């Protein structure tokens, strides 16, 4: 596939969890891409809230992708992932592992759970723990408790699947969505002591080539 493709541009920030998920999917599918780093600022040329980037994503957040092969521009990590799967995963290596109505719903429900719940709860935990200019202990407690609740749900799911992937049978794009957020557990002040299956799954994910390559590229180390 790679031979005839022009590299996609992945717009990213080296520390954020959302762009690296998309890099994992591109790596898994051997789709060539280059990373364009942005700052968390409103600098007109370099910032996510600056005029140049807002032309790509009016929501001023990463990831966004530009695909010169199709002319498509996407943002929101879920939309980026699903675009990549539709266009570059014709053999369905990272999509739902079965094609029954239940298989498709299972894929989407875990994807949406991450996008709408675990990711945002962890994001708010990080905000109130590290960045909020005003201390707000109540908000920090609330979002930390919600993050733990999500980890409970994930631990239960890994117990059902045997623990090597969020969905039964193999690693999918759903694992990439979760990987980047769960890996931030220490930064968010979350303990994995009560989550042996999450711990084991995270170690396994960390040994995968597409995951390692994605981090190296998004962090500008490769
Ligand atoms: N729902 C969005 C969230 C994107 C997001 O919040 N990205 C972070 C980096 S991981 C960001 O751009 N933050 C910049 C900001 O908050 O100004 C997605 O899944 O893509």
> 125 CA to middle of ligand 1, Å?
14
CATH entry 3.40.30.10 includes domain 2-94+210-218 = yes
Closest residue CA from atom 12 of ligand 1: 61
pLDDT in tens, 58-107: 999 999 999 999 999 999 999 999 999 999 999 999 999 899 999 999 99
Ligand 1 atom closest to the Cα of residue 19 is: 10
Looking at the chain, which residues constitute the CATH 3.40.30.10 domain(s)? 2-94+210-218
Give the pLDDT band (50/70/90) at residue 2: low
Q: Average per-residue pLDDT in the chain?
A: 97
User: Is the bond preceding 19 in cis, omega lying within 30 degrees of 0?
Assistant: no
pLDDT in tens, 126-169: 999 999 999 999 999 999 999 999 999 999 999 999 999 999 98
Looking at the chain, which residues constitute the CATH 1.20.1050.10 domain(s)? 101-208
* Whether the predicted model's global pTM rises above the 0.85 cut: yes
Is the CB of 48 inside a 6 Å radius of any atom of ligand 1? yes
CATH entry 3.40.640.10 includes domain 101-208 = no
Closest residue CA from atom 16 of ligand 1: 61
154 C-beta neighbours (distance < 10 Å), count? 22
């Amino acid at each position: 596939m790679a031979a005839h493709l022009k590299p996609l541009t992945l717009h990213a920030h080296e520390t954020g969890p959302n762009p690296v998920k998309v890099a994992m999917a591109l790596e898994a599918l051997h789709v060539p891409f280059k990373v364009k780093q942005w700052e968390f600022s409103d600098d007109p040329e370099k910032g996510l809230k600056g005029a140049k980037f807002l032309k790509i994503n009016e929501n001023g957040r990463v990831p966004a992708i530009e695909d010169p092969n199709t002319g498509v521009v996407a943002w929101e990590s879920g939309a980026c992932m699903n675009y990549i799967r539709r266009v570059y995963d014709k053999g369905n290596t990272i999509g739902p592992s079965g094609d029954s109505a239940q298989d498709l719903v299972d894929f989407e429900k875990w994807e949406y759970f991450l996008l709408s719940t675990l990711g945002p709860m962890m994001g708010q935990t990080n905000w109130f723990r590290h960045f909020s200019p005003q201390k707000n202990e109540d908000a920090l407690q609330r979002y930390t408790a919600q993050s733990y609740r999500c980890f409970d749900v994930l631990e239960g799911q890994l117990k059902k699947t045997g623990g090597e992937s969020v969905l039964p049978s193999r690693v999918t794009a759903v694992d990439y969505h979760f990987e980047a957020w769960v890996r931030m557990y220490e930064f968010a002040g979350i303990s994995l002591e009560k989550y042996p299956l999450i711990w084991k799954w995270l170690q396994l994910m960390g040994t995968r080539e597409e995951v390692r390559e994605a981090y190296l590229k998004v962090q500008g180390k490769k």
